[in-house]
Amino acid sequence: MSTRANNLGKTLTSKEAARLLGVSEASVKRWADGGLLPTVKTAGGHRRFRPEDVAVFRRERLHKTGRPSARAHSETRHEQGASLRGGAKHEETAGLMYDVLIGGHAEEAAAILVSLHLEGVGVSALADKVLCPAMRRVGDLWHQGELSVAQEHVATRAALEALQALRASLHPHAAHGRRAVCCAAEEDFHELPVQAAALVLEARGWDVVNLGTSTPFYALAEAIGHFAPRLVCVASTILEGLDRAAREYGEVRRAAARSGAGVVIGGAGFAGEDVRRRFPAELYAEDFGQLEEFAVSISEEGETG
């Protein structure tokens, strides 16, 4: 494993924090001495910074000053690419993420995501290149009997906590007043895809109503009527009762049409041409990058319309 991968999830030096904040090392030390930027001390008495604290400080500083640093401008450009820096490095980083998740080390998992985001990696890329591959490995090993149910649950909870820490660290795009509704289909209790989709959209300035897991389609249709979203996202790993689900999904499509909402569905439950014929949508998302691109296109239509 490379030195860079080993450094992910660890604390930052003053020089590293300064680079990520786009300021001088002296500024970082001054903020730390003034209690503005939290620090931790090593056993040898050296000052270190948690990536989460650096990210939150940057977000709050940008909110107060309204002047993004040169680093923040760079981050915006990198988010457009939605790809993990280093190309082939993503497999290595996903392997490191697997190790910390299976150990239940949520804080270290959060530090990996936040560190990469501070370096300019967008939320969809973090999900597609780091978090999801690690969790797919967990799921595969569980199905093969090499991991216990308890280990799978520990990894899932650590991943969800890491996402929450990333959410707290984000400096999202300016809110544009558009709303999205996200959920998992009925009998699907996988929370991670729904939370990741919501975070991808929130980072792009969407107001997200997260209905959570196991949401019947008739309930989703009611929520669309109530919240009038411009975007509806549905995840499904296993879609049960296809005939009934298809009938109720018709209500979702009618409600979405009245709201002027685009519908995005994704996950293994919606795989296959026959299933997709019965569940029409504007986008069958293969990854979170596609969801992000679709959401951006809707936002741009509203700006030019």
Structure tokens of 115? 């560190």
Q: How far is CA 236 from the centre of its chain?
A: 17
pLDDT band at 139 (very low <50, low <70, confident <90, very high): very high
- State which H helix or E strand residue 71 sits in: helix 70-81
- At residue 4 the predicted structure's pLDDT band, cuts being 50, 70 and 90, is very low
Of the pLDDT bands very low, low, confident and very high (cuts 50, 70, 90), residue 8 is low
- Cα angle 238, 142, 191 (rounded to 5 degrees) comes to 45
Q: With a cut of 60, say whether residue 252 has pLDDT above it.
A: yes
φ, ψ for residue 72 (rounded to 5)? Answer: -65, -40
Mean pLDDT of 192-199: 97
Confidence band for 215, pLDDT divided at 50, 70 and 90: very high
Residue 207, pLDDT score: 95
Q: Which residues lie closer than 8 Å to 244 by C-beta, 6 or more apart? A: none
Task: Give the lowest-confidence range in 79-88, 250-259, 276-285, 296-305.
Answer: 79-88
pLDDT digits (tens, 9 = 90+) for 117-131: 888 899 999 999 999
- Whether the predicted pLDDT of 2 surpasses 70: no
What integer pLDDT is reported at residue 175 of this predicted model?
Answer: 74
> Could you tell me which of 120, 116, 11 has the C-alpha nearest to residue 69?
120
Tell me which range, 114-128, 166-180, 241-255, 288-302, is most confidently predicted by mean pLDDT.
Answer: 241-255
SS (H, E, C) 84-135: CCCCCHHHHHHHHHHHHHHCCCHHHHHHHHHHHHHCCCCHHHHHHHHHHHHH
Please name every residue paired with 233 in a beta bridge, in sequence order, or none if there are none: 182, 264
Average the pLDDT over each of 32-36, 201-205, 217-221, 245-249 and give the range with the smallest value: 32-36
Residue 126 vs residue 27, higher pLDDT: 126
Contact 154, 104 (CB under 8 A): yes
Residue 80 is predicted with a pLDDT of 36
pLDDT tens readout for residues 30-55? 888 888 888 888 888 888 888 888 88
Q: Tell me the pLDDT band of 64, cut-offs 50, 70 and 90.
A: low
Confidence band for 213, pLDDT divided at 50, 70 and 90: very high
d(CA 238, CA 253): 20
Q: How far apart are CA 35 and CA 165, in angstroms?
A: 21
In the chain, the percentage of residues whose pLDDT exceeds 90 is 58
Residue 35 has a pLDDT of 86
Classify domain 179-304 at the CATH class level: alpha beta
The model's pTM is: 0.79
% of the chain exceeding 70 in pLDDT: 86
What are the backbone dihedrals phi and psi of residue 218, each rounded to the nearest 5 degrees, phi first?
Answer: -65, -35
CATH number for the domain formed by residue range(s) 3-169? 1.10.1240.10
The pLDDT value given to residue 88: 52
The pLDDT of residue 9: 58
pLDDT for 199 beyond 60:
yes
The confidence score (pLDDT) of residue 268 equals 93
Pairwise CA distance, residues 123 & 292, whole Å? 9
Query: Is residue 81's pLDDT more than 80?
Result: no
DSSP E strand stretches across the chain = 40-41, 47-48, 179-184, 207-210, 231-235, 262-266, 283-285
Query: Average pLDDT of 254-258?
Result: 98
Beta bridge partner(s), residue 38: none
| Domain range annotation of the chain | 3-169, 179-304
Average pLDDT of the chain to the nearest whole number? 86
